[in-house]
Amino acid sequence: MKPTDISTPDHFHRVVDCQWACPAHTPVPQYIGLIAEGRYAEAYMVNWEANVFPGILGRTCDRPCEPACRRARVEKEPVAICRLKRVAADHKGDIAGYLPERTTKTNDKRIALVGGGPASLTVARDLAPLGYQCTIFDGDPKAGGMMRTRIPHFRVPEHVIDEETGYVLDLGVAFRGGTRIDSMKTLLAEGWDAVFVGAGAPHGQDLALPGRNEAHANIHIGVEWLASIWFKHVTRIGKRVVVIGGGNTAIDCARSARRLGGEDVRMVVRSRFGDMKALAWEKDDVQREGVVICNDLVPREITHDNGRLTGVNFEPVTSVFENGKRTLVSAGPCNISPAMTW
Ligand code: SF4
């Protein structure tokens, strides 16, 4: 038997399953213990050290820590690790005394950070206290990137984003909003000591279906549509809406559609209900708001009348699993469900 390797923190992370499963290796037991003692500010700071945006993550994290939680071995549900992060964030009070002080010393190194989302803000959070002069560039007017513009505010209120991006900017980080970087050559010519590119993935995935281009006026791409709502380019939607997809973005779109005037909003998903990518509580929320989830259907065609969207043609499928790999097998002919026509 090989001796235990304790030369890296990995060993200690692994011993705590939830901490190991968290991509940021947040010390989960430590902060939950602090919450149990009512020490919310300290619990928040344990999170802040590890994942920078506890208030936002407490509302949005995909929480891979929870399936790893050992509590689920003796009880039906794991500890609500993610929601407890929000508890710490909502009850922390004034944490000014816990945050690093804005440094007056500089090491004369200038860092340009492209993109004002979580990646650049995290780099700036770590470098600014060391004396680096960090400048973040973003095409949007305010810091936060996709956290601000592509997550609906009924899930993350804007004041939470202002607060948590503010903690980073207050460390002495310059933010140049409304400044889109289109040329790396021009940026590099400005003599920065280092450039960090954290541009994110702000574009969604399109579907190359017959009829898609013809009916484009009434077809929207998930994250881009959510951004259009934030920028107030979109303020309403038709009464009948089909959302294709079963992840958290699809859920956000369906819930947003309900708020913008959608009366008959349906999510159509190719996987089974239990296999959907969206989290269980997201599925509960969307159904509670009156959205119907239709599973085991694959979109095959957008139908239209001279470019006016009239429906979506779906093929029923069955999920067949072999060696853990899923294959979708046709379960019948394609048809235009009356529920999916206009
Ligand atoms: S909720 Fe997210 S950030 Fe928090 S411990 Fe779990 S995986 Fe990590």
Extents of the domains making up the chain:
10-98, 110-197, 216-340
Rounded Cα distance between 65 and 71, Å, is: 12
Span from the CA of 89 to the centroid of ligand 1 (angstroms): 13
Q: pLDDT over 90 for what percent of the chain?
A: 85
Looking at residue 13, its pLDDT comes to 76
> Two tokens at 25?
């290796």
Residues 147 and 161: beta-carbon distance below 8 Å: yes
Whether 216-340 and 110-197 are alike in CATH topology: the answer is: yes
CA distances from 284 to 82, 103, 167 (A): 16, 46, 33
pLDDT digits (tens, 9 = 90+) for 35-91: 999 999 999 999 999 999 999 999 999 999 999 999 999 998 999 999 999 999 999
pLDDT digits (tens, 9 = 90+) for 227-241: 999 999 999 999 999
Looking at residue 340, its pLDDT comes to 55
pLDDT confidence band for 2 (50 / 70 / 90): confident
Span from the CA of 131 to the centroid of ligand 1 (angstroms): 29
Is residue 339 pLDDT above 80, yes or no? no
- The residue among 287, 236, 233, 280 whose CA lies nearest residue 262 is 236
Cβ–ligand 1 distance for 22 under 6 Å, the answer yes
Q: Options 1.10.1060.10, 3.20.20.70, 1.10.10.10, 3.40.50.300; which CATH number does 10-98 get?
A: 1.10.1060.10
> Two tokens at 242?
């089909």
Span from the CA of 54 to the centroid of ligand 1 (angstroms): 9
Rounded Cα distance between 241 and 312, Å, is: 11
Looking at residue 75, its pLDDT comes to 93
Looking at residue 10, its pLDDT comes to 80
Q: How would DSSP label each residue in 2-31?
A: PPP--SSTHHHHHHSHHHHHSTT---HHHH
Cβ–ligand 1 distance for 32 under 6 Å, the answer no
Looking at residue 342, its pLDDT comes to 46
pLDDT confidence band for 123 (50 / 70 / 90): very high
pLDDT digits (tens, 9 = 90+) for 126-136: 999 999 999 99
Q: What is the CATH number of domain 110-197?
A: 3.50.50.60
Domain 216-340 has CATH 3.40.50.1220: no
Cβ–ligand 1 distance for 61 under 6 Å, the answer yes
Residues 113 and 198: beta-carbon distance below 8 Å: yes
